[in-house]
Amino acid sequence: MDNGRSHIETNEGMHPFVMGRSFGALVATILFCMLAFNLLKKKKKRASTPSFISPMPTGEGNDHYDVFLSFRGLDTRKEFADHLYHNLDKAGIVPVFVFRDDKSIPIGEEFGPRILDAIARSKISILIISKNYASSKWCLRELIHIMDHMKSTSHIVLPIFYKVDPSDVRHLKGSFGKAFHSHKKYFDEEDIQKGQQALKEVSHLHGWESEKVANGHEGELVEKVVENIMSKLRQDFQLDVTKHLVGIGDHVNKIRKWVDTPTSVARMIGIYGMGGIGKTTLAKVIYNQLSDDFVHRSFLADIRETAHRNNMPYLQKQLIKDILQIEHQVGNVDYGISLIKSRFKRKKVLILLDDVDDKNQLDALARERDWFMLESMIIVTTRNEAILDQSEFEVDYKYELNELDGKRALLLFNRQAFRMDHSPGEFEGISRDIISNMGGLPLALQVVGSYLYKKTNRNVWEDVWEQLKNEPHRDVQKTLHISYDALQNEHKQIFLDIACFLVGEVSRFAMYMWEDCGLYPSQGIEELKLRCLIKIGDHGEFEMHDQLRDLGRSIFCQGQLLEKRSGPWDHYYKGVPKVLRFDGMVKCGTPFFFSPSYFNTFNLIYSNISSRIDICSYFLRVNIHLCPS
């Protein structure tokens, strides 16, 4: 009692003050409630507005998705939809971004606009149409919006009829129709009309019926859906290839004719040729064309440089991650090999190994055929044919890539220099002069053509032509130099001799000199051939690509004083005596080897020669004097 009385008295004592302040508070509270009521009423009205009345989202925000997943949480959230979501999320060699409302909408954000905007920002919508799908107002609105989006854009819609018959969806029959009709009273009239139309349209789309795929086994259905999705998305994941391709179609057709031959084993294609000839581009085109047939794929670019800069376990780790979608720590090559050979056997893989320049690199990544599942395809590009010959995998198909003919070389140059298939009249002649110095090498045509793009001063073109007469463009030279640097010293010597003096000459007489000089020429010539640095003609003569020849002469010139940087091929040659040709004969001398001692010897021997002599017989007479004592 006391407590109660005391409490009452206290209140009465405070009454005048409380009443004076609480009256204003009461008014404020009433006004706030009225405002809140009006806002809630408006919000409710907006929320009940059908999604198709809202403005179409522009899809210009930051969040873009590969797949929008529409499903009825009551039926599939914790089972089929969850399995599909996680399999899509980890599929492929790059992440697939999947929108699912409970995963993709931050807490506190409004549901409707974000959902509709996500549809506009997705490439593909997967509709899991289950028993209670049409009983959800939001599922219907998603469906309406998705079907509208499909009609106005390239949006792809893939329905999965999960334990329902498409005809029941179309005609609103069975348990599916019953669920829809029992909830119509909660829908707006426009939702009902457009929803029925959308259900009819989606029922005619090609999709999957869960009970008819793998006899109802959902795991296999998920795999099929994921594979189909990845196939449709791979266009975005394809390797980048230049738009200005010329003459590659014939090569692709020849290789595809072999690739398309039925087989029951894993196979390897080897594409080889000199640097800058287009091996990587051709391999990328083949890889892109085959990619739809493979879920597990990997492209290891520039293996030569990557292995040098990092190491082979780094490349093995990248390959394993691409194929298995799991990141393993690879401490050494042996452990990497054990992972690849044990884990890849159940994977049908497509692998492109670009610019392999050592047998150990190939052994660490794809040494044996039985490391891979049947019908797997390994594509290897290399400058060194010997790597393909030495492979324990036993390369099934070798393809040598050669230079472009004159017509195609001009077309490629024009596309780079003018962005069209022909030269403007005033540049037609100089364009032909420039490409005549590049020997149909695609890299040279692209580099020089791109450099000259939008350069309208003809004097610049003339300067480029003059420069190319003496040596390749610096960017081309850098690429070609890689093959030269890989040679042993003795083989470098032979390469330079051929480039400076012996292009077009019969090989057997030079062989005598090289043998006496201890350069092991048979081995050296074989190495130069395998590395695509030279060829031997039908009559035993040395053949060398113009750009490689110019590279060799440039290397020779770098060993001279600046004012003497020319050679026996140059009209203004100021070094050792110049070569003059008449009917296969020579007058005066020329350097055959790179070392200064050889040049000095030739200078002494040849400076006193004035009569015409047969170069071949002279080789035999003087070779003993050319070798160091």
Q: What residues are labeled active site?
A: 142
Question: Which phi and psi (to 5°) does residue 483 adopt?
Answer: -65, -40
Neighbours of 522 (CB within 10 A): 11
Q: Count the alpha carbons within 13 Å of 249 in the hemisphere toward its beta carbon.
A: 4
Question: Which phi and psi (to 5°) does residue 210 adopt?
Answer: -55, -35
Q: Count the alpha carbons within 13 Å of 149 in the hemisphere toward its beta carbon.
A: 26
Q: Tell me whether residue 572 is exposed, middle or buried, using C-beta atoms within 10 angstroms of its C-beta: 0 to 12, 13 to 18, 19 or more.
A: exposed
CB 156 within 8 A of CB 188: no
CB 419 within 8 A of CB 291: no
Residue 385 three-state SS: helix
Which of 2, 229, 191, 209 is CA-nearest to residue 95?
A: 229
**Beta strand segments in 120-233, E:** 122-129, 156-161, 208-209
Which of 404, 435, 406, 403 is CA-nearest to residue 418?
A: 435
Question: Which phi and psi (to 5°) does residue 273 adopt?
Answer: 165, 175
Residue 300 three-state SS: strand
Q: For residue 292, what is the DSSP state?
A: G
27 vs 357: CA distance, rounded Å: 86
CB 417 within 8 A of CB 446: no
Task: Tell how strand 397-400 and strand 580-582 pair up.
Answer: unpaired
Which of 151, 132, 133, 131 is CA-nearest to residue 142?
A: 133
618 vs 101: CA distance, rounded Å: 86
Q: What is the 3-state secondary structure (H, E, C) of 455-484?
A: CCCHHHHHHHHHHHHHCCCHHHHHHHHHHH
